[in-house]
Amino acid sequence: MNQLEQLKTHTVVVADTGNFRQLAQYAPRDATTNPSLILKAVQQADYAPLLAETVAAHRGQAHEEIVDAVLVRFGLEILKVVPGRVSTEVDARLSFDTRATVERARTIIGRYEQAGIGRERVLIKIASTWEGIRAAAELEREGIHCNLTLLFAFSQAVACGEAGVTLISPFVGRIYDWYKKVAGAGWDDAANAGENDPGVQSVTRIWRYYKRHGIATEVMGASFRNVGQITALTGCDLLTISPELLASLQQTVAPLARRLDPEEARAADIAPVSYGETGFRYALNEDAMATEKLAEGIRLFAADAGKLDALIAAA
């Protein structure tokens, strides 16, 4: 078996793309999208007609309704290819507004349901701010399942588990980027590879904590820079991977062993932790990497959401 096939025996493979025409060749179970991926897709000639068609069908509606229609249209196309779930993101500009996030999530789910898609096949992506986590807790009580994204800190993961969210997406590559940038000329690629990669270590710590304390929230490693980060997390609940890295795995036939062992994690000596709002905010503030990457991630997604707005307005 190639490494992609081997990985699937231990971990649910998810495709991280808005380009649904690429999906079939990798046979992922689920797929994830975000504003940046959708923006990239709609600027391609293959997808421009889909954007124009969707905008034309909803012309005269409020702008945010048209935006949601475009996002859901891509989700519907993805669900024709994958047997599992698609993640569709709430506008990052709502990351600090619990009520607006809840309302936007309900609207997105409503569009999927109108198209005949059940809630079990959709994950609403929300940034892992305190406000986003509170919104997710409310949505989960309504049977709307959530994927908490832009997750960099252990405190974010603990709060998501306590909130009962369905899934979290801790970012591997962006954590790696931060530590590499801070280290500058002193960075040693070889010494910080595999299980020593700071992004890999972050996801491993979260996964082990969840397994040790019976937390049902699924852990989906995300934002990979290289195949080594993926293989070091073999055994994680899910991994969402770009088409480029899926292709690399598919073209490699070297043996791939499971790295994360649930039995070992359940037996580990890991103390439980709990965060109220004040503790959460302080713990996040104390983590310079997480604070910076969360803020940066929201800004970048918000900027791409704005660019998507402009494309839709011009269509």
What is the count of structural domains for the chain? 1
List, for residues 158-191, the tens digit of each pLDDT value: 999 999 999 999 999 999 999 999 999 999 999 9
Alpha carbon distance 307, 313 (integer Å): 10
SS3 state at 153: coil
Residue ranges in the chain whose pLDDT is less than 70? none
pLDDT attached to residue 159: 98
SS3 state at 261: coil
Alpha carbon distance 32, 194 (integer Å): 24
CA distances from 238 to 28, 145, 211, 291 (A): 11, 16, 14, 25
Written as six digits, the tokens of 75 are: 């989700």
Alpha carbon distance 281, 245 (integer Å): 35
Give 171's contacts (C-beta < 8 A, 6+ positions apart): 149, 150, 151, 152, 199, 222, 223, 293, 297
Are the C-beta atoms of 233 and 172 separated by less than 8 Å? yes
CA distances from 230 to 144, 204, 206 (A): 29, 12, 16
CATH of the domain at 90: 3.20.20.70
Q: What is the identity of the amino acid at 275? A: Y
Written as six digits, the tokens of 92 are: 């990052």
Range of the domain at 266: 3-314
Q: Which of 8, 40, 125, 293 is catalytic?
A: 125
CB atoms closer than 10 angstroms to residue 179: 14
pLDDT attached to residue 315: 86
Q: pTM, whole model, 2 decimals?
A: 0.97
SS3 state at 220: strand
pLDDT attached to residue 35: 85
Please report the sign of the dihedral spanned by the C-alpha atoms of residue 134, residue 140, residue 146, residue 152: positive
List, for residues 97-111, the tens digit of each pLDDT value: 999 999 999 999 999
Q: Would you call 181 a catalytic residue per the annotation? A: no
R_g of the chain, CA atoms, integer Å: 19
Q: Look-up: residue for tokens 């039995």?
A: 263
pLDDT attached to residue 281: 98
